[in-house]
Every structure is written in C-alpha cells, then in structure tokens.
Structure 1
Amino acid sequence: MTTFPAHPFGTTLTPNGIVEKMVNCRSWEDKYRLIIQMGKQLPNLNDQLKEESVHVPGCESKVWLIWKIENNTYHFAADSDARIVKGLLAIIVAATEGKTRQELIAFNFEQYFEKMNLLSHLSPSRNNGVRAIINQIQRI
C-alpha cells in the first residue's frame, strides 16, 4: 500500500490567509501567479495513488482526489495535469483539511471563492470543474 502524502501546508496556507493574499493582489495576472504558486505546494501524487483516486466528473483537466479519515476528520490529497487547476485544488484542500464531515458539508465554498473574486475570472469550464471538485468533496 502506498503512503498517503503528508499535508503540505501546515499553517502556511489557511482559508483566511489565502483570501487575504488574493484580496491584496492588484490584478487577475497577480492572482493567477499566486494560484500557480500555491499549486506548487501540493505534492505530486504517484501513479498508484492516482489509480486509487476518485474520478471527478465535470473536469476537463485530469484531476486526482484522494482522502483518508483519522479521528473523524478528513485529510485530502489532490493533483492535476494543469497548473492552474492544481493551484485551485490547493485552495480547496487548504479549506477542507482536517474538517469533519459536517464541517465539509457546511463550509460555504461559494462565499470563500467570492471573497477572492476568483470564479468570475475563470473560464466556464474551469468554473464547472471547481464546482465538480467541491461537489465531490461534499458527497464523500
């Protein structure tokens, strides 16, 4: 069995910290670069973990999502073949890490992304992909 990747962020990427960084960006290009930088903090999943991941319907890019439950809290790992999607995954994983099932269901992702003014800048297909990833997490 392959080892589940350690959570890469520690306290460096938190939902509030991400929102603050995004709000302080001066342009969409700055946000785009920041998203890609955050994606670089997600470890690449090895092939075995990719095989064990769930399929995320609605994503045009390849997305791999896995999780484990410890002490009633969820821990996620994710990867993508697209840099911007991997960054968006980092934003989502930071918001979901260590939450209980009830907290995952209750978390307001719409408000989270709205505070960052992100979804309005994404293409419709990326927007649909983000929503598909969130729906998958909340269905777990």
Structure 2
Amino acid sequence: MTINEIQEQIIEDFSYYEDWMEKYEHIISLGKELPLIEEQYKTEENLIKGCQSRVWLHADYKDGIVYFTADSDAIITKGLVGLMISVLSGQSPKDIANADIYFIDKIGLKSHLSPTRSNGLLAMLKQMKMYAVALNAVHPS
C-alpha cells in the first residue's frame, strides 16, 4: 500500500468512532501493536527531541525499504508513534521524505492533542523524515 492509501484507511478507521474517548482508546490499542524497538536501540541518540515523554525511534534499511521500530514510556504517545509507523514504515526513503502527511488534520488529531503532544507528534514525523532523507542520500533509488 502507498502512504496515501494507508492514510485514507486511517481516516476511514477513525470515522467509525463517534467521540474522542473512543478515538483515544483506538490510539492506545495501536500502541500495543507497535513493533517494539530492541533494547540495544533504546539509546540517547534514538530519543526524539521535542517530545515531553520519552520516545525512542529506530530505522532499519533493507532492500530499499525503511522499517521503523519504536517505544515510549507514555501510552498515548506510544499509540501516536504507532500511527506514524503504520503510515511510514515499509516504504522507500524517497517516498517517506516526499510524503504529505495529511491524516493528522483529517482525523482531527491536531486539535484534540495538548500543545506538547502535538509538538511531539511533529517531532516524530520530522525525525522519521530525517532518517529517510539520510538513507536516500546513502542509497539513492
């Protein structure tokens, strides 16, 4: 699936929930399905700067595709990074770097997060795109 197809699926999934308590429960459940980062990657370098909670993000590159793993010490934040990974993991560095991430606004997430969580979400996206840009420079497609 392309990044945009995945975003459309997420928008559709969130449309089934009527209120934000249900949407938050869905986000938390996504965090429980998150591909967990290996302990060896829970390092200071892999901590996302700009997140209030501790969020570790690691990128693996294999056969032209980027695979992200992550973890967080906060359940909502873990779900948010899980959402980002579901959209961007398994894509090429070029596609990740050029992706227009619009699902955050479409599902109303930005307006329902506290300013610190919203900043953290943007920091996650920025970090994932930075990994992709760096990998694309080393392995141009």
Q: Which interval holds the TM-score relative to the shorter structure?
A: 0.7 to 0.9
Q: Output the CA distance in 1 between the equivalents of 2:84 and 2:106.
A: 14
Runs (4 or more) in structure 1 with deviation over 6 Å come to none
- Relative to the length of structure 1, the TM-score reads 0.83
> Secondary structure of the residue that 1:59 maps to in structure 2?
coil
1:113 paired residue number? 104
User: Partner amino acid for 2:28?
Assistant: I
1:135 has 2:94 as partner: no
More helix by share: 2
Q: Output the CA distance in 1 between the equivalents of 2:45 and 2:8.
A: 28
More displaced, 39-48 or 99-108? 39-48
Calculate percent identity across the aligned residue pairs. 34
Aligned residues: 126
1:87 has 2:96 as partner: no
Q: Output the CA distance in 2 between the equivalents of 1:17 and 1:75.
A: 20
Shift in Å, 1:43: 4.0
CA contact (8 A) 1:96 1:104 kept: yes
Shift in Å, 1:115: 1.6
User: Partner amino acid for 1:25?
Assistant: Y
- Relative to the length of structure 2, the TM-score reads 0.83
Q: Output the CA distance in 1 between the equivalents of 2:81 and 2:112.
A: 16
Among 57, 66, 78, the residue aligned to 1:65: 57
Structure 2: 5+ residue runs without aligned partners? 1-5, 132-141
Shift in Å, 1:105: 1.4
RMSD over aligned CA atoms reads 1.5
Q: Output the CA distance in 2 between the equivalents of 1:54 and 1:72.
A: 21
Shift in Å, 1:48: 1.8
Structure 1: 5+ residue runs without aligned partners? 1-13
Shift in Å, 1:99: 1.1
Q: Output the CA distance in 2 between the equivalents of 1:134 and 1:98.
A: 15
User: Partner amino acid for 1:102?
Assistant: K
